[in-house]
Amino acid sequence: MDTTTVPRNARPYPRIRMLLTVGATALVVAAAAATPLNPAPQQAKAAGSDGKRTLTVAVSQSVDSLSPFLAQRLVSTSVHRLVYENLTNYDVKDNHAIPGLATKWEPSPDKLTWTYTIRENSKWSDGRQATAEDAAWTFNTMMSDEGAATANGSFVANFKKVTAPSPTKLVIELKKPQATMAALDVPIVPKHAWEQVGDFSKFNNDKKFPIVGNGPFILTDYKVDQFVKLKPNKQFWRGAPKFDELVLKYYKDGDAAVAALQKGEVSFAANLTPAQAASLSKAKNIKVNDAPGRRFYALATNPGAKSKNGKKFGNGHPALLDPKVRQALFAATDRKAIIDKVFQGHAVEGEGYIPPRFSAYHWKPADGQKIAYDPAKAAALLDEAGYKKNSAGKRVGKNGKPLDFRILCHATDPNDKAIGKYMQEWWGELGIGLKVDCLDNVSDPWLAGEYDLAFDGWSVNPDPDFVLSIHTCAALPATPKDTGATDNFICDKKFDELYAQQTAEYDETKRTDLVKQMQSRLYDTGYMNVMAYPNAVEAYRTDQIKSITTMPASGGNLWGQDGYWSWWSAVPADGSGSSEDSGSSTGLFVGIGAVVVLAAGLGVFVALRRRSTAEDRE
């Protein structure tokens, strides 16, 4: 569903991912105009008439929840990275684990007990001290309340006991070893501000402002499908952000966002189409950043929606339960044409589940395993599956019914629309009908299992655990009425066995091999076909932003990072604030955290991690 993204930079569609809209169908950039959401937009100049330096970011995804217990879309999890601290963070250069709320962490010799030292210089924005008790309460709530475990339950499923012996000491006891203990992408919330919440499954944290947090920013205001406003947290231990205000402003239309960027009404815009990027690259005071992305773009099939209690629901096409039919559809999809004609080179052809940006975990199918574009093979597979062409050229089953499918697409995503048209052509030649259902809200039919196929995508974190967990049986909804954490209702025992093994494996080489085996299994079962790894194509105004840090520092993205580096480091163009601790879009960066040495028994394992990070679905 998507995404974007992912910790879970996080989900996209149903959870919803924020798909990168770099499609080829974009029209010429629209002329600057007032939008329905902002009929008289204010200039977002770094120094306004009131002296306030505002950094305005155009976003194309709706916030699903301001509760870190529920949020899965990339825009939401990105906000939570700014407002709350995790125990650890990711180094901007190479993604290794660095201090967050915890200054260090050590495992016991058997790896079943982890002790975290909580920093003494972290305060909640209401002035109270952030302590180990807040972290223990956050984890225990997720362990005991199914609603609180909605977004990040996979991180605590293996927790046995969590305690806070002192304000600076957090102890987590495990049922079995867990390799993600230095990569727990779980926002720690203040116990005193959350302990009165009744139903965590319904509490969206969007009524009372400012929201109490301990990250680099404080969330001060929010309006559905309009904006999220944040101000610097002057008490943030790493140092306050340089801008006086950060605004995430919602634009349903990508051309309107680009027009706002051209006029100076916003400082930054992401998800650019090739046409938009080409136009902006020639504009004065605008810099385009085109970097390898951290997400994948896939075609997902409905494997037969069901819940943990075994109840089936939805109305997915039964033909898709046949692996030969799924393989035929993939063999009839020209991924190279998608890269060349839709993404126009701003993407890499898809293969495995983990994007090549994360080279250690990236997997490629073997020559004999790879499903290449081969219409003749696709036709043969359909024949073998019992779907022959009739006199009218339509594929029909033994019951005489034509083979017609539906595919969910985002109404606002030009990629979905363009690729959907190509599929109608490619599959039509095989005798298969395809209805492209482009909707403003794909979440409802997706979660209800009322689809045949869907355009899917997630932002992947440095550690792949989360995006792998969403395909386990444990991620299925408890009942058909529940949501669960599943991406696409996949439940495969072999995949689950490999997932359990990789979670408990501390040896980096062995764990990497297991993750690749999981991708191979996901590929062979044929429920998902990764078509592309889109670039992060984005732009910002250099007359508003003097410097800003990409992630990774050398040729990385700005929007949807595994951290808060971009907006925290951004320096106003008027030169206010020191750039000594900031990087720039060219990749320059000075150290941002002390190196943490784990206990000797941990070996060479360096924990990295996810989402959105999953509309990304982060």
State yes or no: pLDDT of 612 exceeds 50. no
Q: Chain centroid to CA 505: how far?
A: 24
DSSP 198-265: S-TTT--S-SSSSPP--SSEEEEEEETTTEEEEEE-TT-TT---SSSEEEEEE-SSHHHHHHHHHHTS
* Residue 291 β-bridge partners: 536
In whole angstroms, what is the distance from residue 61 CA to residue 165 CA?
41
Q: What is the b/e burial string over 516-534, where b = at least 16 CB atoms within 10 angstroms of the residue's CB? A: bbbbbbbbebbbbbbbbbb
DSSP 398-462: TTS-B-EEEEEEETT-HHHHHHHHHHHHHHHHTT-EEEEEEES--HHHHHTT--SEEEEEEEPPS
Residue with tokens 């990105």: 78
Q: Where are the alpha helices (DSSP H) in 43-145?
A: 74-83, 132-144
Query: How sure is the predictor about 25, in pLDDT bands with cuts at 50, 70 and 90?
Result: very low
Q: Which CATH architecture has domain 88-190+596-602?
A: Alpha-Beta Complex (3.90)
Which of 367 and 46 is assigned the larger pLDDT? 367
pLDDT at residue 50 in the model: 67
The DSSP call for residue 155 is: H
Contact 265, 75 (CB under 8 A): no
Question: What interhelical angle do 375-384 and 323-331 show, nearest 10?
Answer: 160
Range in 27-36, 413-422, 436-445, 552-561 the model is least confident about: 27-36
- Interval 9-14 mean pLDDT: 37
pLDDT at residue 483 in the model: 83
Give tens-digit pLDDT for 128-139.
Answer: 999 999 999 999
Q: Chain centroid to CA 395: how far?
A: 37
In whole angstroms, what is the distance from residue 478 CA to residue 459 CA?
25
Peptide bond into 552 cis (omega under 30): yes
The DSSP call for residue 158 is: T
Contact 208, 193 (CB under 8 A): no
Q: State which H helix or E strand residue 119 sits in.
A: none
* Residue 97 β-bridge partners: 90
Query: How sure is the predictor about 290, in pLDDT bands with cuts at 50, 70 and 90?
Result: very high
Residue with tokens 């906000």: 79
- Interval 509-514 mean pLDDT: 98
Query: How sure is the predictor about 370, in pLDDT bands with cuts at 50, 70 and 90?
Result: very high
Give tens-digit pLDDT for 531-544.
Answer: 999 999 999 999 99
Contacts of 93 (CB under 8 A, 6+ apart): 552, 553, 554, 589
State yes or no: pLDDT of 256 exceeds 80. yes
Q: In the chain, what are the domain boundaries?
A: 88-190+596-602, 295-534
Query: How sure is the predictor about 412, in pLDDT bands with cuts at 50, 70 and 90?
Result: confident
Q: Chain centroid to CA 575: how far?
A: 33
In whole angstroms, what is the distance from residue 416 CA to residue 150 CA?
28
Q: What is the b/e burial string over 257-296, where b = at least 16 CB atoms within 10 angstroms of the residue's CB? A: bbbbbbebbbbbbbbbbbbbbebbeeeeebbbbbbbbbbb
Give tens-digit pLDDT for 45-54.
Answer: 554 556 799 9
Torsion, Cα 479 481 485 487, to 10 degrees, reads: 100
Give tens-digit pLDDT for 205-223.
Answer: 999 999 999 999 999 999 9
Range in 105-119, 179-193, 406-420, 571-585 the model is least confident about: 571-585
Q: Which pair of structure tokens corresponds to residue 303?
A: 């494997």
Contacts of 551 (CB under 8 A, 6+ apart): 90, 92, 557, 558, 561, 562, 563, 565, 566
In whole angstroms, what is the distance from residue 486 CA to residue 489 CA?
6
* Residue 89 β-bridge partners: 98
State yes or no: pLDDT of 167 exceeds 70. yes
pTM of the model: 0.81
State yes or no: pLDDT of 145 exceeds 50. yes
Residue with tokens 């066995």: 497
SS3 annotation, 556-597? CECCCCCCCHHHHHCEECCCCCCCCCCCCCCCCCCCCCCCCC
In whole angstroms, what is the distance from residue 486 CA to residue 466 CA?
11
In whole angstroms, what is the distance from residue 453 CA to residue 595 CA?
45
Q: Ranked by mean pLDDT, which of 34-38, 187-191, 457-461, 595-599 comes out on top?
A: 187-191
In whole angstroms, what is the distance from residue 266 CA to residue 150 CA?
33
Query: How sure is the predictor about 229, in pLDDT bands with cuts at 50, 70 and 90?
Result: very high
The rounded mean pLDDT for the chain is 87
Q: Which CATH class is domain 295-534?
A: alpha beta
Contact 73, 10 (CB under 8 A): yes
